[in-house]
């Protein structure tokens, strides 16, 4: 899940869940408190009235107050009957209330039994006619008394004035409502903590799982261990980060494998070059020693010795050039100088030069060019010559016939010219043909072979041909020979219309 979506959900959870749970807590605790008050005070109340203690106190004694009013209308002297007053006071006592009767400013009946409390109460009780006898309400007396008072004024039979008070203690109800408020506050705190814990656990779980995998993957990569897969499910930012990290891990693994291959190939190249340099150097050294020792005692022998030394020197020069060019391939700094080249003139010159060298090696050479004389290509003459020399060098190197044959054919194939260089060497196995243009690949892996080879010649050829916009391939039959073919696009003038 995306971080933005997770935060939006968390926002609504923070608002809605506490509100919903608080409503449940209020209904539960309110219903429980309501039930207790109804049992203690004997009156039905609503949840809204829980916050109005005066209303509750008023309702709890309202029925009794109405009965007292009816009795006063019938006979006010009934309130001078202590037995009657005791019976009323006993009923009021069940509702945390008591009865007080005042006659001519003096206490006639005290239902509480607390003289000090009543003395304080007498100082603040309303005077006669100080409270409307027709009202069903009451008044609240605070200070240390904290009581809800209902007052009914009347005249006794002897003409004296009197007042009947129903005194309801607010302390008990206040304690009950205070406990309800505390319980509700605690429930609110629990709800907030519970919601926070759920959100923290949900967010932590969503972030911790991919972070843990990412941390483990980082540690393994630190130890250069790339043989694992970082698997995560989801569409969140962290999951995407894990997938990107795994992609980086795959690339690092590929780079490590390529580096390992490159290091191995470099060691192989050094070994190949050492062998390939040692062979001509040994030959040159041998022929020079022969000359110095007077073995070449005839002009014919001397000429043959010098010619052989020249050929071996050329082999070493070609090998050194290959190494220099190989370093330029790796840094992609091959120096090309493209120009228009006449195909016939260029390949005629190449054939003459190659033919001279092959005849010195006693290899039969033939050249066929069927391209029209005005055919042009855009190419680098020096690099294209390198291609031909490398292919011819390979043909000579792997020639296993007593009478070697090399043929160059240049043909017109539509928009391209095709060059074919065929030999009658030992050939290449069919399964190895796709790999011969790879770097350091050699069909003969034996270091004791007389041919040797650095394994980079044909990779250089492929690179040059591809940079010319062409392609190269090979056809071969084992034991019969090999034909190297490459094509280069012909140059064509584009007419400009005015």
pLDDT score at 377:
94
Length of the chain: 498
Instruction: Give the CATH number for residue 352.
Output: 3.30.565.10
| Tally of CA atoms within 13 A in the half-sphere of 72 that contains its CB | 20
pLDDT score at 364:
93
DSSP for 260-280, please give it. Answer: HHHHHHHHHHHHHHHHHHHHH
| Tally of CA atoms within 13 A in the half-sphere of 13 that contains its CB | 18
pLDDT band at 158 (very low <50, low <70, confident <90, very high): confident
> What is the per-residue pLDDT across 202-233, written as a single tens digit (0 to 9) for each?
777 777 777 888 888 888 888 888 888 877 77
Q: What are phi and psi of 404, to 5 degrees?
A: -80, 150
DSSP for 401-450, please give it. Answer: SSS-EEEEEEEEETTEEEEEEEE-SS---GGGGGGTTSTT--S---TTSS
Tokens standing for residue 11? 């926002």
* Residue 52 Cα distances to 29, 46, 174, angstroms: 16, 10, 10
> What is the per-residue pLDDT across 305-332, written as a single tens digit (0 to 9) for each?
888 888 888 878 877 777 776 666 666 6
Number of domains the chain is built from = 2
Asked whether residue 276 is domain-assigned, the answer is no
Residue range(s) defining the domain that contains residue 158: 53-174
Q: Which of 196, 203, 209, 212 is nearest to 4 (CA)?
A: 203
Please, are residues 345 and 377 in contact by the beta-carbon 8 Å criterion? no
Interatomic CA distance for residues 399 and 324, integer angstroms: 26
Asked whether residue 161 is domain-assigned, the answer is yes
Q: How many CB atoms lie within 10 A of CB 440?
A: 19
Report the chain's mean pLDDT, rounded to a whole number.
Answer: 80
Instruction: Give the CATH number for residue 60.
Output: 3.30.450
> What is the per-residue pLDDT across 133-157, written as a single tens digit (0 to 9) for each?
434 467 777 666 677 888 888 888 8
Asked whether residue 277 is domain-assigned, the answer is no
Please, are residues 57 and 45 in contact by the beta-carbon 8 Å criterion? no
Instruction: Report the first-to-last Cα separation within the chain, whole angstroms.
Output: 63
pLDDT score at 420:
96
Q: Higher-confidence residue: 413 or 175? A: 413
Rama region for 479: left / alpha / beta (φ>0; ψ in -120 to 50; rest): left
Asked whether residue 187 is domain-assigned, the answer is no
Asked whether residue 31 is domain-assigned, the answer is no
pLDDT score at 134:
39
| Tally of CA atoms within 13 A in the half-sphere of 98 that contains its CB | 13
Question: E strand or H helix at 136, and its extent?
Answer: none
Domain boundary among 143, 174, 205: 174
Rounded to the nearest angstrom, the gap between the alpha carbon of residue 441 and the centroid of all alpha carbons in its chain is 41
Asked whether residue 136 is domain-assigned, the answer is yes
Q: How many CB atoms lie within 10 A of CB 136?
A: 12
Tokens standing for residue 133? 């006898």
DSSP for 292-341, please give it. Answer: HTT---SHHHHHHHHHHHHHHHHHHHHHHHHHHHHHHHHTT------EEE
> What is the per-residue pLDDT across 431-488, written as a single tens digit (0 to 9) for each?
888 888 887 666 554 433 444 455 677 888 998 999 999 999 999 998 899 999 999 9
* pLDDT(132) > 50: no
Provide the 8-state DSSP code for 183.
H
Domain boundary among 174, 205, 224: 174
Asked whether residue 83 is domain-assigned, the answer is yes
> What is the per-residue pLDDT across 275-286, written as a single tens digit (0 to 9) for each?
777 778 888 888
* pLDDT(498) > 50: no
pLDDT score at 444:
54
Tokens standing for residue 126? 């309303």
Please, are residues 143 and 119 in contact by the beta-carbon 8 Å criterion? no
Domain boundary among 174, 193, 217: 174
Q: Which of 120, 175, 165 is nearest to 144 (CA)?
A: 120
Question: E strand or H helix at 175, and its extent?
Answer: helix 170-222
DSSP percent split of the chain into helix, strand, coil, nearest 5: 55, 15, 25
Instruction: Spell out the residues 6+ positions from residue 130 whose beta carbon is closer than 8 angstroms to its own.
Output: 151
Interatomic CA distance for residues 409 and 391, integer angstroms: 13
Please, are residues 394 and 458 in contact by the beta-carbon 8 Å criterion? yes
Asked whether residue 102 is domain-assigned, the answer is yes
pLDDT score at 130:
54
């Amino acid at each position: 899940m995306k971080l933005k979506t997770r935060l939006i959900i968390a926002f609504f959870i923070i608002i809605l869940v506490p509100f919903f749970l608080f409503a449940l807590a209020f209904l539960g605790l309110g219903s429980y408190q309501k039930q207790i008050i109804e049992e203690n005070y004997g009156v039905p109340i609503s949840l809204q009235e829980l916050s109005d203690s005066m209303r509750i106190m008023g309702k709890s004694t309202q029925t009794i107050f109405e009965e007292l009013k009816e009795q006063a209308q019938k006979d006010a002297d009934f309130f001078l009957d202590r037995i009657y007053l005791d019976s009323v006071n006993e009923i009021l006592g069940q509702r945390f209330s008591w009865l007080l009767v005042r006659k001519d400013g003096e206490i006639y009946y005290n239902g509480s039994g607390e003289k000090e409390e009543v003395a304080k109460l007498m100082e603040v009780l309303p005077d006669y006619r100080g409270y409307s006898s027709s009202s069903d309400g009451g008044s609240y007396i605070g200070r240390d008394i904290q009581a809800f008072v209902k007052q009914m004024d009347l005249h006794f039979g002897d003409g004296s004035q009197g007042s009947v008070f129903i005194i309801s203690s607010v302390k008990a109800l206040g304690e009950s409502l205070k406990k309800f408020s505390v319980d509700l506050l605690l429930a609110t705190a629990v709800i907030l903590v519970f919601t926070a814990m759920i959100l923290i656990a949900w967010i932590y779980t969503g972030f911790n799982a991919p972070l843990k995998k990412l941390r483990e993957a980082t540690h393994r990569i630190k130890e250069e261990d790339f043989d694992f897969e970082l698997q995560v499910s989801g569409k969140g930012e962290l999951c995407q980060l894990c997938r990107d990290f795994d992609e980086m891990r795959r690339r690092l693994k590929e780079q490590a494998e390529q580096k390992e291959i490159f290091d191995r190939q470099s060691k192989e190249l050094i070994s190949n070059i050492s062998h390939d340099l040692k062979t001509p150097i040994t030959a040159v050294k041998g022929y020079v020693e022969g000359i110095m020792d007077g073995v070449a005692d005839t002009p014919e022998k001397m000429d043959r010795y010098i010619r052989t030394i020249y050929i071996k020197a050329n082999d070493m020069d070609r090998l050194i050039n290959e190494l220099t060019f190989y370093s330029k391939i790796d840094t992609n700094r091959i120096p090309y100088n493209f120009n228009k080249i006449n195909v016939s003139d260029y390949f005629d010159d190449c054939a003459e030069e190659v033919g001279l060298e092959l005849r010195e090696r006693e290899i039969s050479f033939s050249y066929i060019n069927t391209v029209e004389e005005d055919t042009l290509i855009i190419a680098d003459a020096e690099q294209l010559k390198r291609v031909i020399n490398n292919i011819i060098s390979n043909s000579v190197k792997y020639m296993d016939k007593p009478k070697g044959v090399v043929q160059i054919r240049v043909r017109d194939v539509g928009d391209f010219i095709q060059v074919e260089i065929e030999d009658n060497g030992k050939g290449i196995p069919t399964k190895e043909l796709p790999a011969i243009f790879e770097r350091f690949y050699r069909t003969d892996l034996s270091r004791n072979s007389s041919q040797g080879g650095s394994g980079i010649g044909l990779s250089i050829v492929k690179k040059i041909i591809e940079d010319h916009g062409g392609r190269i391939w090979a056809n071969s039959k084992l034991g019969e020979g090999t034909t190297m073919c490459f094509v280069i696009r012909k140059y064509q003038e584009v007419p400009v219309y005015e």
